[in-house]
Amino acid sequence: MFVKTPAILLAIIKYNDSDAVIKTYTAQTGFTNFFIRGFYKGRKARSKKALLQPNALLELSFDYKNKGQLEQLKESQTLYHYKNFHTDFDKLNVSTFLREVLLESLKNEQEDPVLFDFIYKAFIKLDQESFHPDFHIWFMFELSKFLGFYPDFDADGHYFDLQNAIFTNKLPLSPYLNIEESQLFKKASGMIFAYKKGKLSQKDRQRLINILLKYYEQHISQFKWPKSVKILNQIYE
């Protein structure tokens, strides 16, 4: 089946000295891996590296085999040219973190045009607007809606049950947040809904990143923490 679809490039993996595998999430085929011949060596290596970069928003054309093997690209082109993504240190670090979160969160996801549209517009938003230090926290809350485990903030309780995504007064048997962490989680949600109107303290921001990653761990099989979280935590110390 011939497919032409928007995509975001999430990772580039070295296959051998000449070739690479790119991991993408596309609107029409979901999480899809492609074999890129001559990515590191060859006549077109330079142009391929310039086009196929992490976080790139692309239009990909290919014959979709869907047999669990690497797909073969026919054509690719840039859909959106970032303006200051790669020169703004804060945006670069946050985009790297979000890309790693997406790589872990979407690895088993099928096509979902609405989810893709959210990701696409969010990355453009990060690029075009003034940097806000809570952008990645807002993004992770919003992403959880599409992945099916958005927290139930309407329920009252002293503890947040990480596994069942609900606040409760009864000490959960499953992993949970303590009273202080639960208060921060609920407080942050109110600020994040209109994140431009308020900012978390550096200490709370750092704690909340770690809480959200623990939360994702409970709901996504074999979820690995992004390596870039260490850099974010150092920035927010």
List the chain pLDDT tens, one digit each, 237 residues.
999 999 999 999 999 999 999 999 999 999 999 999 999 998 889 999 999 999 999 999 999 998 878 999 999 999 999 998 878 999 999 999 999 999 999 998 999 999 999 999 999 999 999 988 889 999 999 999 999 999 999 888 999 999 999 999 999 999 999 999 999 998 887 766 555 556 788 888 899 999 999 999 999 999 999 999 988 877 655
Q: Could you tell me which residues come within 8 angstroms of residue 134 by beta carbon, excluding any fewer than 6 positions away?
A: 191, 192, 195, 199, 200, 205
88: left (phi over 0), alpha (psi -120 to 50) or beta: beta
CA–CA separation, 184 vs 203, rounded Å? 11
Residue 17's identity, in one-letter code, is D
Residue 211 contacts residue 201 (beta carbons within 8 Å): no
Domains observed in the chain: 1-81 (2.40.50.140), 84-237 (1.20.1440)
Question: Which stretches of 89-178 are DSSP H helices?
Answer: 89-105, 113-128, 135-147
User: What pLDDT score was predicted for residue 236?
Assistant: 59
CA–CA separation, 198 vs 54, rounded Å? 30
